[in-house]
């Protein structure tokens, strides 16, 4: 079965976006520095970045969609459909079936699993990732730790308190340091 992975770039002080997030500044003002490691085409897990991501579907929240659609366009995020968890749908959605709007985590996960087959599912957005973690639906967390301090911004699991109901243990799978970032991979212990 496909793994459900929260894969995110983060500043050293724990922010996944800088301050000033808007549709024009999807990662906040100057936040694109979080993806310098990706643009450097480094290797993770001994594979080039392009080969590391063998993904079949993506799940994101409405805020991630609204702040990213300008960059993703009608083709979508990448190699599979992007399922958006939202209670409403925008008037215009580009692409032909690239974006699928659903109103619950369970439907999002079922839809993503059907689309992904044996490929992995990537969860994007701190709030949605926190909800998946709280419900026991995340298998792994991959953090690409960028050598930058923002001071303020959007925290790893979004603006809302995570409220896990207790500790969630993680088992480190791998840690890889490169010139542009430190890549940390954890399995969620269930």
Show the beta-strand stretches assigned E in 19-166.
43-44, 47-48, 55-61, 82-85, 99-102, 120-124, 140-146, 153-155
The overall average pLDDT reported for the chain is: 88
Q: Residue 126: pLDDT above 70?
A: yes
**How far does CA 34 lie from the centroid of its chain?**
13
Domain count, the chain: 1
- The pLDDT of residue 133 is 95
Q: Domain holding 112: CATH number?
A: 3.40.430.10
Q: Residue 121: pLDDT above 90?
A: yes
Q: Residue 69: pLDDT above 90?
A: no
- The pLDDT of residue 52 is 56
Q: Residue 48: pLDDT above 70?
A: no
Could you tell me which residue, 61 or 70, shows the higher pLDDT? Answer: 61
% of residues, the chain, pLDDT over 90:
58
Q: Residue 110: pLDDT above 60?
A: yes
CB 19 within 8 A of CB 150: yes
Per-residue pLDDT tens digits for 131-142 = 999 999 999 999
Q: Residue 115: pLDDT above 60?
A: yes
Which residue segment(s) compose the domain that 68 sits in? Answer: 4-188
CA angle 3, 51, 43 (to 5 degrees): 105
pLDDT category of residue 169 using cuts at 50, 70 and 90: very high
Least confident of 30-34, 35-39, 48-52, 116-120: 48-52
% of residues, the chain, pLDDT over 70:
91
Rounded Cα distance, 187 and 43, in Å: 20
| DSSP codes joined into one string, 100-140 | EEESSHHHHHHHHHHHHTTSEEEEESHHHHHHHHHTT---E
Q: Residue 4: pLDDT above 90?
A: yes
Query: Would you say the C-alpha torsion 79, 188, 113, 100 has a positive or negative sign?
Result: negative
Q: What is the mean pLDDT of residues 122-130?
A: 94
- The pLDDT of residue 78 is 67
- The pLDDT of residue 86 is 95
- The pLDDT of residue 23 is 85
Q: How is residue 19 written in tokens? A: 């301050």
CB 168 within 8 A of CB 133: yes
């Amino acid at each position: 079965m496909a793994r459900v992975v929260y894969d995110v770039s983060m500043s050293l002080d724990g922010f996944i976006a800088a301050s000033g997030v808007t549709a024009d500044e999807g990662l906040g003002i100057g936040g694109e520095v979080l993806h310098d490691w990706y643009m450097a085409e480094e290797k993770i897990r001994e594979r080039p970045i392009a080969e590391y991501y063998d993904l079949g579907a993506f799940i994101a929240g409405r805020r991630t969609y609204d702040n990213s659609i300008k960059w993703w366009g009608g083709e979508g995020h990448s190699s599979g459909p992007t399922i958006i968890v939202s209670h409403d749908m925008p008037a215009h959605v580009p692409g032909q079936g690239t974006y699928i709007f659903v109103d619950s985590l369970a439907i999002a996960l079922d839809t993503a699993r059907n689309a992904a087959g044996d490929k992995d599912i990537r969860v994007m957005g701190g709030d949605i990732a926190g909800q998946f973690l709280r419900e026991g639906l995340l298998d792994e967390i991959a953090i690409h730790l960028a050598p930058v301090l923002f001071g303020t911004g959007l925290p790893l699991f979004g603006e809302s308190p995570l409220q896990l109901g207790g500790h969630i243990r993680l088992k480190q799978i791998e840690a890889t340091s490169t010139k542009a970032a430190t890549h940390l991979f954890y399995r969620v212990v269930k």
